[in-house]
Amino acid sequence: MARIFYDCEFIEDGTTIELVSLGAVDEAGREFYAISRSFDPMRAGPWVRKNVLDKLPPSADPAWCSRLQIREDFYAFVTAGGGEVELWAWNAPYDHVVIAQLWGAMPDLPRAMPRFTRDMRQRWDDVGRPTLPPAPQDAHDALADARHNLAKWEVIDARWRELGMDRVQRTG
């Protein structure tokens, strides 16, 4: 089972969620980073402007690309190993919606893409909230946050194993 830890930065207004950037890392050290050329920065609120948009590289940076290119490249990243994949994110619901919307309607999501993202925040609660690594200096950069998610996972997973949760049989 391959695990991919990711983070999305986005603009949302309670009705729509618009991708700004996507960062992902796996346990083997591979990384993915892309910034959408399609989002409307004028829709961003003050928090997103200050904490996300102001930290993006210049638009000439190769990380900037179309949503179609992000979709194709992220799909290639996720499916590169050819086996089963788990997606993991911190407070995952919005992130998963942003990812799924790269394909449009839910039925258009390719079979090889996971249908949900596992929530690291819930797993952290399950293991008693161990102390996690501090947020990086470049927090709210999607790739920095994805790397931080992997670092948090290592603490959470170690605690999971310490508690013997890895030996619990799944039922149902």
Show binding-site residues.
Answer: 7
E strand or H helix at 3: strand 2-12
- In whole angstroms, give the CA distance from residue 21 to residue 33: 7
- In whole angstroms, give the CA distance from residue 76 to residue 25: 13
Phi, psi dihedrals of residue 47, rounded to the nearest 5° = -65, -45
18-51 core/surface letters (b: 16 or more CB in 10 A; e: else):
bbbbbbbbbeeeeebbbbbeebeeeebeeebeee
> Tokens 């290639």 map to which residue?
76
Q: Which residues are annotated as a binding site for Mg(2+)?
A: 7
Structure tokens at 136: 């990086």
- Could you tell me the end-to-end alpha-carbon distance of the chain, in angstroms, rounded to an integer? 20
Structure tokens at 36: 């959408």
